[in-house]
Structure 1
Amino acid sequence: MSVREGSTAASTSLDPDLAQVRRSLVELERAVGRLQAHHAETLGVRRLVSDVRRLIEDLDEIGDLPPAPAGAAAETRLHYVSDTPYPPDLWRDCDDEGLGGHR
């Protein structure tokens, strides 16, 4: 594995979120490298190496991201759905989609 802290457009971006993700991926790459060096070469370790490499490549492909539209955070609202059961009458004239109808 190779640490690529200084490569590509993502690292030259001024976006602090991208920079934080890059630092985290570099640390993860180092940790997985230590794991690979000190333990048997298993399928799980090879997958980790491959996954970290892919994540770094994906980050490299992102480049500079446009800023989020103003008020985007305010538009994202959670909608809570009650855990209480629905009344049986609600489903009276409905078919079980995918299971075949009862008519």
Structure 2
Amino acid sequence: MKAANDNVPLGTISTAAEVMVRLRVSRKTLYALVAKHLPGAARVGRDYRFEEADILTIWRGMKSCVSISGNEPPANRTGSSGARTTKGKRSTSLQKLLTKKRPKRSA
């Protein structure tokens, strides 16, 4: 009895390590790209296996992505003030809120 996939050539299958070297990305970046562009990727244990078409899909996704590292330009701020707050002012006001003394309870 023949299996359904006996007549179909499998082609080249690559491991995640091979794809990382080929695309010159880290494991974290590769897995983020897989989650974004190949939600139904073939997973074997803790690792993924990739066909050539999968690698091309990831590559096309990399070319179309603005950024996957989170280093995107800040979004336009909305609100009553157009001025940006400086990091120092923001952190000191938060520090005051966090270190505010509790009122004493009366006996």
TM-score tier (shorter): under 0.3
More strand by share: 2
State the TM-score, normalized to the length of structure 2: 0.27
Give the structure with the larger helix fraction: 1
Structure index of larger Rg? 2
Greater RCO between the two (CA within 8 Å, min separation 6)? 1
